[in-house]
Structure 1
Amino acid sequence: MNEMQTKPQKMPFSLAITTKGYNEMISRSIRDPKDVKRFVAAITSAVAVNPALQDCDPATILSGALLGNSLGLSPSPQLGQYYLVPYWNKKKGCNDAQFQLGYKGYVQLALRSGYYKHLNVIAVKAGEMVRFDPLTEDVDFRMIEDEEEREKAATVGYLATFEYLNGFRKTIYWSKEKMLTHADKYSPAFSKDAQTVRGKGGNTYRKVSFADYEAGNYPKQDEWMYSSFWYKNFDAMAFKTMLRQLISKWGIMSIELQTAFEQDTVVNEDYMEPADALTPAPVELPEPELVHQMPADAPADAEEVVNLNDL
């Protein structure tokens, strides 16, 4: 009986989205038939190129995609406006897809609100930040002009700034070390320093420090331990963190941006930090994790990897 009950969750999304119930759900949210066709084609394509999403409950994929559509954002991973990210739902015993706003989505929604004249976030390279006064927010920044040289230079921090149409400006700067500490604190899948982790079967594994990971100093068969986007695309996650810090504390948020902000969190309390940590307040905001399931090549007992120091 249990096996029969899980079959609908295994139905390919390309088939599930054609069923009557799903069609009715889409039609209630998207009125124009042409827009419906574009939406179905876009989300089906996004799922087709992501094997991890194909294993998710189709209803959660559709729910996240409809939220993204209501915000006027594209599901294309290449655009980076939002993502449908798999995570393991222990209560349901299956993978669910969770809506996650990308940093480019934050930029799109903020600029679209009509309050912002300018909004930007960049990686600061070695030698570029001459001086930053956090009190006056005066910045003495000298960008490396040669693009190739700048690309090769080490990232030492992140700078985010906005300007309202009325002229009000706000700028914040974080060193890379501060960003690493933030990621280590709020992302269960990321480790700033080397550590030993243990799977539910009792086997132990050794994760290298992030510095060693960046340098490629780790066994390639252990790649499954570094599936977090903080490993795969640290700068993109750092950009998102900076924008969340900047906008949540000092920015004006439209209804759309507030909605995206509230939904940009994973509800799996067994894995993620408490939801109240996302409340806009004068505290550091945790970042929603972008990768929540173990890759297919992970050891069988590695699904519940935890820090031995927490045991």
Structure 2
Amino acid sequence: MATNQALKNQLANKQDAPKQVSAQNLGLKSLLSTPTMKKKFEQVLAKKAPQFMASLLNLYSGDQSLREAEPMSIISSAMVAASLDLPIDKNLGYAWIVAFYDSKKGCKVAQFQLGYKGYIQLALRSGQYKAMNVIPVHEGELVKWNRLTEEIELDLEAAKSDKVIGYCGYFKLINGFEKSVYWTKDEIEAHRIKHNKMKDKKALNNVWKSDYDAMAMKTVIRNMLGKWGILSIEMQKAVIEDDEDRELKDITDESNEVLDNENIIDMNVQPDGESAKNEKTSILDQGEIVFDDPQ
């Protein structure tokens, strides 16, 4: 039988132990404040980690839809951008973290999307490209386009209106090889509708709704690079991460295996909102996040 002193010691040890909670019970701010998360971002970004994490919080606080998303999916998406060393400020156009409703999980989740500027940045980092660009083509600017030879002639001073009729991409390699591609607005729309997984295929959502031109230019440059460009290991990784269907695993698990009860988050901060009900729960109780393309 336990003595009174032994019971007192057990209670004291329990009170002194750090609080242990499930990641699903934490808000993003509290989750980023944990030593586990800070260490993860520092391993990837080194001295740039605090600035990146601050930009993530700014993005989160300014986006109502993202604030409704499952926090670990936001962390996982941000980690993808961090591993590619791309800023997540949506106004810059390098990478986006977008939220949408996942019918399988029954809640909103976040997904990483690579912007057209992100593709250009990663291509130029490879050292294989001398120049690269993609632009919208306005009514009156297109003089001639040969679909067979892919030779294009534009007069950028001859625009008749602000109406966009297509998008043109171009790159030139260090070895002199160059390529131009042109997509009409109708071709862009056909591609968007084909890959739109909403019930209403023609409906605009996420970045397509907020910045149609950016997504259209991304479509052009991704197709151009995938068909004609030189893809570095980093670019191949980016393309994989930007694929339409992916699983997001808990990035606090280095082996990507389900954690046991010893691998939980030790909290030195309070969770956002109500206190966690379960004091000792695996961080992966929430399970894997499987979702569709947010096109």
Larger radius of gyration: 2
For 1:255, the equivalent position in structure 2 comes to 233
Separation in 1 of the partners of 2:149 and 2:175?
Answer: 19
Structure 1 residue 289 corresponds to structure 2 residue 271: no
Q: Give the length in aligned residue pairs.
A: 232
For 2:15, the equivalent position in structure 1 comes to none
Q: 2:40 aligns with which of 25, 31, 37?
A: 25
For 1:13, the equivalent position in structure 2 comes to 28
Q: Alignment partner of 2:197: what SS?
A: coil
For 1:57, the equivalent position in structure 2 comes to 70
Query: 1:162: Cα distance to partner?
Result: 0.8
With structure 2 as the length reference, what TM-score do the two structures score? 0.71
Q: Which amino acid aligns with 2:183?
A: W
RMSD of equivalent CA atoms: 2.5
Preserved CA contact (<8 Å) 2:128 2:173:
yes
Preserved CA contact (<8 Å) 1:128 1:144:
yes
For 1:114, the equivalent position in structure 2 comes to 127
For 1:182, the equivalent position in structure 2 comes to 191
Separation in 2 of the partners of 1:90 and 1:144?
Answer: 48
- Alpha-carbon distance change, 61 to 231 in structure 1, aligned in 2, over 3 angstroms: closer
Query: 1:8: Cα distance to partner?
Result: 4.8
Cα deviation code 1:68-104 (max 9, x no counterpart): 1121100111111101111333443332211110111
With structure 1 as the length reference, what TM-score do the two structures score? 0.67
Separation in 1 of the partners of 2:195 and 2:122?
Answer: 25
For 2:178, the equivalent position in structure 1 comes to 169
The residue correspondences of 1:37-76 to structure 2 (distance < 5 A) are 37-76=50-89
Q: Alignment partner of 2:111: what SS?
A: strand
Preserved CA contact (<8 Å) 2:98 2:206:
no
Q: Alignment partner of 2:117: what SS?
A: helix
Separation in 2 of the partners of 1:226 and 1:106?
Answer: 22
Preserved CA contact (<8 Å) 2:69 2:108:
yes
Structure 1 residue 236 corresponds to structure 2 residue 214: yes
- Alpha-carbon distance change, 271 to 44 in structure 1, aligned in 2, over 3 angstroms: closer
Preserved CA contact (<8 Å) 1:188 1:271:
no
Q: Which amino acid aligns with 2:186?
A: E
Percent identity between matched residues is: 35
Query: 1:105: Cα distance to partner?
Result: 0.6
Structure 1 residue 78 corresponds to structure 2 residue 91: yes
Structure 2, unaligned runs of 5 or more: 1-20, 248-289
Separation in 2 of the partners of 1:164 and 1:241?
Answer: 20
Separation in 2 of the partners of 1:172 and 1:119?
Answer: 12
Separation in 1 of the partners of 2:185 and 2:243?
Answer: 24
Structure 1 residue 155 corresponds to structure 2 residue 168: no
- Alpha-carbon distance change, 139 to 185 in structure 1, aligned in 2, over 3 angstroms: same
Separation in 1 of the partners of 2:23 and 2:136?
Answer: 44
Query: 1:226: Cα distance to partner?
Result: 4.5
Query: 1:271: Cα distance to partner?
Result: 6.5
Separation in 2 of the partners of 1:63 and 1:164?
Answer: 34
Preserved CA contact (<8 Å) 2:98 2:112:
yes
Query: 1:7: Cα distance to partner?
Result: 8.1
Structure 1, unaligned runs of 5 or more: 1-5, 193-224, 273-287, 291-311
Cα deviation code 1:162-191 (max 9, x no counterpart): 110111011111111121122122113464
Preserved CA contact (<8 Å) 1:129 1:142:
yes
Separation in 1 of the partners of 2:35 and 2:152?
Answer: 57
Q: Alignment partner of 1:17: what SS?
A: helix
Cα deviation code 1:180-237 (max 9, x no counterpart): 1221221134644xxxxxxxxxxxxxxxxxxxxxxxxxxxxxxxx6534333322111
Separation in 2 of the partners of 1:174 and 1:63?
Answer: 33
RCO comparison, higher one (Cα < 8 Å, 6+): 2
